[in-house]
Amino acid sequence: MSDPVSSEVPAPATWPWTTIADDLLRPARLRPGAVLRGLSRVWRTTALYGRDHPVVERQVNDLLQILARLFADRPSLMIFVHEETFFVDNTMLLEESVQLSPLLIRLKKRNILSMTISIGLEPRELRSMVALLSMPEDEVQRRGGALAYLAQHDVRHIVVGSGQPTQVLPRAGFQADPRDAYRAGLRVIDELYFQASKDSALHLHKARIVVNSLIDIFAEHKIGLMGAATIKSYDQDTSHHSVNLCILSLFMASRLQLDRTLTSTLGLAALLHDIGKVRVPLEILNKAGKLTDEEWRIMQRHTVYGAQLLHHLAGHPRLAMVVAFEHHANYDLSGYPSITTKERPHLLARIVQIIDSYDAATSARRIYRRPMAPDEIMRFILKGAGTIYDPVLAKAFVHELGVYPVGTLVVLDDGTLAVVRRPGERDAARPVAGVIDPREKTPSILYELNLEERHERHIVRSVDPIDLGMDVTAFMSLAS
C-alpha cells in the first residue's frame, strides 16, 4: 500500500507558501510599542548628543511619523505602567517592558504612571517631554513635578498622571500577543545567562516580570502560548528551550491547580533550570556528535553548577535552586546527581523533568539524532511513568497537552494532512485538527475536524514538518 503522504503531497520545492522559520517571533504590522521604542531612542540620543543635534531632530520626526500612523484609527493613545509592565491602551507590551526597563524606571521615578498623547502633538512638545525625562529627579521636583513642568512649557497634547487611569482596568480584558511574551522571555534568559557566565549576581527582576505576565496571558491566550512553546519551527537552543519550559510549566500548574505564588515559582524555576550550562565548556555543549563518557560526566555537572549559581535566592524562589539540582534525578532517583537524603525529587523538579524531556526530545537536531515526534515522546513519558517520571504528573502532562500537541502535523486516515489546533478535552489522542491542502498558494484551513466527535476518523501518524519543507506556524494564526 502506498504511503499516504508520499502519494498525495507534492515535493517540498513546489510549495509556494513555505515561510521563514522565525515568522513565529516576528510581528507583521506596526506595534503600539513602537512609540515607546521611539521615545526611548530620542531620550537616549538626546542624552548622548544634546537636544539640538541633527540625529535627535531626525529621531523626533521619526517618532512623530510613528504616532501619525497609530493615530490613523484613534484620536489619542494612552501609555501607562502597571506592575512593572508597559501598556498602550489595553495592549500589554511585555517585550518593551523588558527591553526598555530604563525608560520604565525613569518614568516611575518622575511619578509618571500614565501618559496620554493626542493628535496635534507638536515637535516642541515632544522635545519638552524628552527634556523632562533627561533632567535629574530633584530638578523635576524643584519645578513642581512632571505635570507642572509640562504646563509651564505649554505642552497640551501630552497629559501625564501619577495614578492608574480609571477608564482602564489593567489585566482585565487586556490584549497580549503570545509571541511578544516569547520574545521577552528570550531577552531575559539571554541576559541571565550572560550574567551567570561572568559570575555576576543574577538580577531576577525582569524574569519575575516575564513569568508573572505569562501567568496573566495564560488565562486569555492559552492555545496561543501552547503553540509558541510546542511548534518547532526553529533550531533549538538553550534560550528557546528555557522559555518553552517556562510556558509549558504554566499548563501543568493550571492542571494541578497550584496557587499563584507556587505557579510563579515553578515558572521561574523552569526558566532557570539549565543555567548551570554556562559553566560547561562550549566545545562540549555545542558538540555535534555523541559525547564521550568523560564529556558526559562534565555535562552532568550542570545540575550542580546551576544550584551553585542560584544558592543566594531566598523564600519561594529558592526552589529554583532545588529544581536546577534535581531535574535530572528521576522519580526513582536513578538519574543524576546522586541523591540519598530523600525518597523523591521535589514536586517542582519532577514537573520540570517531564517538560524538559518533552521539549528536548522534540527539538534536538544534532547530526547523530533526529527529533522525536511529539506523540512518540508522549508515549515514552507514559512508558517511563513510575521509574523515570512521576506517574501522576506524567499522565497529567499528556492529558493537558494531548498525545499530539498543538502544532503537530499529522496524516489522517484518508491520507490528508492536518495541523493540530487544540487538544482534545476528554481524549488526549483525539485533538481538533485543521485539514490543509499543500497545493494551495496561500496557507488555509479547509475545515476543522474534531476527532472527539468524529469517531470514525483517526490520526494515522505524525509527520515532521521539516521533512516536507513546511512551516506550520502559517496555519496557527488563522481563525478557527
Taking the model in full, what pTM does it have? 0.81
> What pLDDT score does 444 carry?
86
> What pLDDT score does 228 carry?
81
Summarised one tens digit per residue, pLDDT across range 311-338 is 998 888 899 999 999 999 999 999 999 9
Q: Which residue has the cell 489595553?
A: 90
Summarised one tens digit per residue, pLDDT across range 131-181 is 999 999 999 999 999 999 999 999 999 999 987 655 444 445 567 778 888
Which sequence spans correspond to the domains of the chain?
Answer: 34-161, 178-394, 409-476
Single out the residue of 352, 215, 220 nearest to residue 274, CA to CA: 352
> Any idea what the Cα angle at residue 244 is, between residues 95 and 251, rounded to 5°?
100
Summarised one tens digit per residue, pLDDT across range 233-290 is 545 567 889 999 999 999 999 999 999 999 999 999 999 999 999 999 999 988 878 8
Residue 45: how many CB atoms within 10 A of its CB?
Answer: 19
| Residue 229 confidence (pLDDT) above 80 | yes
Sheet holding 85-88, edge to edge: 91-93, 85-88, 76-82, 114-118, 158-161
Summarised one tens digit per residue, pLDDT across range 418-433 is 999 999 999 999 999 9
**Three-state secondary-structure class, residue 135:** coil
- In terms of Cβ atoms closer than 10 Å to its own Cβ (0-12, 13-18, 19+), residue 312 is exposed
Higher-pLDDT residue of 370 and 67 is 67
Q: What is the mean pLDDT of the chain?
A: 86
Bridge-based pairing of strands 91-93 and 85-88 is antiparallel
305, 276 Cβ separation under 8 angstroms = yes
In words, the CATH class of domain 178-394 is: mainly alpha
Candidate from 37-46, 216-225, 341-350, 465-474 with smallest mean pLDDT:
465-474
Q: Which residue has the cell 536546577?
A: 324
92, 114 Cβ separation under 8 angstroms = no
> What pLDDT score does 19 carry?
35
What is the pLDDT averaged over residues 87-102? 89
Per the rule left: phi > 0, alpha: psi between -120 and 50, beta: everything else, 386 is: left
Which three cell numbers, joined as nine digits, stand for 127? 522635545
Higher-pLDDT residue of 369 and 305 is 305
DSSP 144: T
